Structure formats: C-alpha cells, structure tokens
C-alpha cells in the first residue's frame, strides 16, 4: 500500500489522537493514504467511527510491537 502521510500518536491518550488525525487529514488531498500509529486501545473503536462520520475511508488496522497501526484514505 502506498502511504502518503504518516502520523505518530504513540503514548497519546484521548482526545489527542483524534484531534491530530483530524488536523492531518485536513491538509491531505482526496485519495491520499495516511498511516497512523497509536497505543491507546480506545483508538481501535474511535478511529473507524471517526472515519465513518467524516466520510473518510478506513482501510485496515494492524497491531505490531505494542502499537496499533491504522490506514485511512481521505474521502
């Protein structure tokens, strides 16, 4: 998968990951893919819900080395 932008939210807790995600997506172009990393277990439900609400596409989710990795395509 081609990743256009990366966002590191490791160690951050609610609400910072979503605030940062929202800001990063805003400056991206439609169709670009964001890779977001985080450690907050709440993100597992928050990020897909946020994508759904804001019209962005939630591509996939991985777990590696104690962190969650999300791929989001800007809608």
Which residues of this protein are in contact with another protein, per CB under 8 A?
Answer: 8, 10-16, 18-20, 22-23, 39-42, 44-45, 49-50, 53-54, 63-68
Q: Which is nearer to another protein, 30 or 66 (CB)?
A: 66
CA distance 27 to 16: 17
Least distance in angstroms from the C-beta of 47 to another protein: 11
Least distance in angstroms from the C-beta of 44 to another protein: 8
- Catalytic residue positions? 14
> 37 - beta bridge partners?
8, 69
Q: Where are the beta strands (DSSP E) in 1-75?
A: 5-9, 33-38, 57-64, 67-73
């Amino acid at each position: 998968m081609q990743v256009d932008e990366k966002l590191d939210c490791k160690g951050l807790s609610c609400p910072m990951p979503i605030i940062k995600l929202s800001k990063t997506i805003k400056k991206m172009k439609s169709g670009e893919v964001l890779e977001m990393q985080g450690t907050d277990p709440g993100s597992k439900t928050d990020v897909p819900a946020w994508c759904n609400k804001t019209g962005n596409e939630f591509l996939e989710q991985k777990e590696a080395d104690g962190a969650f990795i999300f791929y989001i395509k800007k809608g």
